[in-house]
Structure 1
């Protein structure tokens, strides 16, 4: 079960970069949890990982990347590189979600996904986050952090009701649905049109 340490909206961090860095650590921990879970526990752990990845990446796309694109030197190239990395990971995540955690290739694919997500996080930290800190005020980063927390508080944490088996239907189609919902909430929190 998710506790206060795996629910990003309850985190104490208010600075968007501190919040996203803490989430990178949470994502690594959730990958560990999914890898080590028994077959019976794997679906629930994977559901929480999918949720966090979906809202985390959407928050970056809606809040961090637009700022980086317009405000930091070489921002467009930095963001384009991050979006290409995110796209590859999203495709694999969607395939894994559709196949479910009982798929014979699930753990192999999980390791591939983990390597891609961790490489992406390192690139963000090195090429994007440091520059954003240098080009923003604390108040700006807190405002961006509020948008991230709002999206995460609204994202669904469980499979859709009516699915016969959470193991067979772990968030069927919902990585994209979660990203869409998080995007709408972020835009509303930041005063943008959905």
Structure 2
């Protein structure tokens, strides 16, 4: 489902109704993936393709920023800012871990 919250006045009835629907759908999303989508992949994809996808996902996660950044609302902006933000995030986390 597509939510168009950014086009609405946050005090409007329409916004509140859409936001309520979004709040209900977000927690259900991972459950739906695990029950239906991942199960379907296991039935139709061969094991080597799934393992390749898993490696690609782990590689992407290892270089992705660990928190969202304001102003990176498009794929192009994410590609530009992501690598630097990732280094900053991971350096900050390492320093904090070393200090505790």
Could you say which TM-score interval applies, normalised by the shorter chain? 0.3 to 0.5
**Bigger Rg over Cα:** 2
What TM-score, normalized to structure 2? 0.46
What TM-score, normalized to structure 1? 0.27
